[in-house]
Amino acid sequence: MRLNNCKSEVIGLKHLKSLAVLFCIAYMPGIASGQADIHFSQFYETSILRNPALTGVFSDDYKLGVYYRNQWASISNPYNTVLATAETHFQIRQTSEDFVSVGLLAVSDKAGSIDQKISGFYPALNYNKSMNSDHNSFLSVGFTGGYLQYSFNPSKATFNNQYLNGKFDPANPSLENLPNAQISMFDLGAGINFNTSTGENNATTFVIGASVYHVTQPKFSYYQKPGITENMRMNGNAALSSAVNEEVTIQFQANYASQGTYTELIFGGLMNWTTASLGAKDIFVLSGGLFYRYQDAIIPVVKINYMNLAFGVSYDVNVSTLKEASNMQGGTEFTLFYTGNYNDKGPAKKTVCPKF
């Protein structure tokens, strides 16, 4: 559901060209009436893109992950999105109750017959302040500074002037003054988050936070012009995890985003069933759940954790006004994560992070 830059892509007859131009203008990310960032259905795994104050807020010492998303394949050339992320946290010093988290995210998104592409790198820094003597409540403030690059392949673009009697001939001149095929910009985001764990063995965890992206509202254009202003994106996140018994845990997740006139609300839950464990360590966990992106899609999710590996798959069943064109097909998404702890650190860790 993320919207990309485009300019007069594959075009046939004159009236089709006009429709294509109008369609592309509506889908330019700098236009307030149709603006939205890249997003994922398994949103709870994308800390840095969701709230930099969530960076490193997990129970193990480090987390490495990759995502793949394929969207709208039933309608046209699909969006293909690949993302890689790494996060870790560490105590400021042995006597400190606070800790610092750092992370790095890289993303590449490509779609359309002219290979419209967005590439981005987002390093993140998060400071986590302990709020009580039990070290199980933390207030976090995080920042991320991103580098974004937009591009397309002009050699794959076709125009009305290259059609003669309804037939396309690449030898015909396009008579178009094509813009720069690549632009870049810097981005800035910040967020705040609070998490607390309660109950026996901290079995219940609550998380709530808010963030803002595109703080500097960068301007961009494929042409040598002042460009279009990127709208700020406001984001709210909330989560609740609670152990029903030693084998079953229930998680609820919600996220709200607002950018220009575009808004998105997605919420749902997962049930985690631990089928095998060794002491306090879970060996095999099977998870299943359902999420709903308001007025857009129903999203079933299945996740398998084995030792330090976690594999998740989700599928968007489109229920929006596009459902007839898409045949209710939306996006398929895969995630793969590896989490772990560093070598023996001596005394037990003081921090108690959420087990999400």
Q: Is position 98 within any domain?
A: yes
Q: Is position 209 within any domain?
A: yes
Q: How far apart are CA 226 and CA 129, in angstroms?
A: 41
For 10, 27, 90, 282, 325, the CA distances from 60, given in Å and listed in that order, are 48, 40, 10, 12, 44
With a CB cutoff of 8 Å and minimum separation 6, the contacts of 249 are 241, 242, 243, 271, 272, 274, 355
Model confidence band, residue 207 (pLDDT cutoffs 50, 70, 90): very high
The answer to which of 36-40, 92-96, 146-150, 309-313 has the lowest mean pLDDT is 92-96
The structure tokens listed for 226 are 């002042």
Amino acid symbol at 188: L
- pTM tops 0.75: yes
Q: Is position 2 within any domain?
A: no
Decide if 320 contacts 297 (C-beta within 8 A). yes
Percent of the chain with pLDDT over 70: 79
Q: Is position 7 within any domain?
A: no
Mean pLDDT across the stretch 45-64?
A: 93
Give the pLDDT score at 157.
80
> End-to-end CA distance of the chain, in Å?
25
Mean pLDDT across the stretch 288-313?
A: 95
Residue 61 has pLDDT above 60, yes or no: yes
Residue 258 has pLDDT above 90, yes or no: yes
The structure tokens listed for 162 are 């290259």
Q: Is position 9 within any domain?
A: no
Residue 19 has pLDDT above 60, yes or no: no
Give the pLDDT score at 329.
60
**Could you tell me the CATH number of the domain that includes residue 250?**
2.40.160.40
Q: Is position 3 within any domain?
A: no
Q: Is position 154 within any domain?
A: yes
Summarize pLDDT for 159-188 with one digit per residue, the tens.
Answer: 888 888 778 887 777 777 777 788 888 889
What is 134-156 written as a DSSP string?
TS-EEEEEEEEEEEEEEE--GGG
Handedness of CA 341, 343, 345, 347 (dihedral sign): positive
Bridge partners of 189, per DSSP, are 144
Q: How far apart are CA 129 and CA 266, in angstroms?
A: 28
Q: Which domain holds residue 134?
A: 14-340
Give the pLDDT score at 14.
37
Q: Is position 349 within any domain?
A: no
Report helix, strand or coil for 176: coil
351 or 213: which carries more pLDDT confidence? 213
Count of structural domains, the chain: 1
For 67, 84, 109, 227, the CA distances from 314, given in Å and listed in that order, are 11, 18, 18, 37
